[in-house]
Amino acid sequence: MYRHQYTCGTGTNLNLGKIVCVGRNYADHAAELNNPVPENPLLFIKPATAAVPMAEPVHLPAGRGGCHFEGELALLIGAPLTGANAAEVPAAIAGLGLALDLTLRELQSQLKKDGHPWEIAKGFDGACPLSPFVKLDWAPDWDGLTYSLWLNGELRQRGKTAHMLTPILDLVAYISGHFTLQPGDVVLTGTPAGVGELLHGDHIAMQLEDDWLRVETSVA
């Protein structure tokens, strides 16, 4: 079931916009980092300058501590959404993809301890490798999607949308109540357990379902 793809950065006539992310949308990931589960989705934004094609090598920021991978399902927005309800969301999602939410973990932990925003630990240049997007010309089972991440051939993450604390359509509706989503924006939907530090020479492979999308990258 290989689908037509939009490339990273543009999807037909869509220019990449902001990247809206959600933290702790899987209880097992919150637990592995000893974080409490939030009552509402925990949102933050990566700038468009954080995005790079996942097919290109990942470059780790030098001298800024360990950089962790977080594999996520990504949504490409194709129509404006403001204050939407869940029923209005599917028509505005143009594509499905995969992403790495790269995180400077020690820096993020210190910022959290100091009560400061996370952006410099999450939004640096290259902090969001993105796959191509599978064009949605059919209605997927939003609560039945599965994606996987392998590090050096070892399965490290298996994300199932059924396990999300806030389901996809509710999540996008919630986001649209706080930030207007525009065509070309990307939503990262959270990461399951299994995150870890990247090292030079590592190889990462990600897959959406069995045959919708598979991408690979390496750490330079």
Q: Which tens digit of pLDDT belongs to each residue from 166-220?
A: 999 999 999 999 999 999 999 999 999 999 999 999 999 999 999 999 999 999 9
Query: Among residues 143, 96, 94, 103, which one has the least CA distance to residue 123?
Result: 103
pLDDT digits (tens, 9 = 90+) for 10-21: 445 688 999 999
Give the residue-averaged pLDDT of 35-46: 87
pLDDT digits (tens, 9 = 90+) for 70-119: 999 999 999 999 999 999 999 999 999 999 999 999 999 999 999 999 89
Residue 32 or 209, more confident: 209
Q: Enumerate domains of the chain plus CATH numbers.
A: 5-218 (3.90.850.10)
pLDDT at position 30 over 70: no
Query: Among residues 75, 213, 58, 64, which one has the least CA distance to residue 149?
Result: 213
State how far the alpha carbon of 218 is from the alpha carbons of 77, 148, 202, in Å: 27, 16, 6
Residues whose CB is less than 8 angstroms from the CB of residue 98 and which lie 6 or more positions away in sequence, other chains included: 54, 71, 72, 73, 74, 130, 131, 147, 206, 207, 208, 213, 215
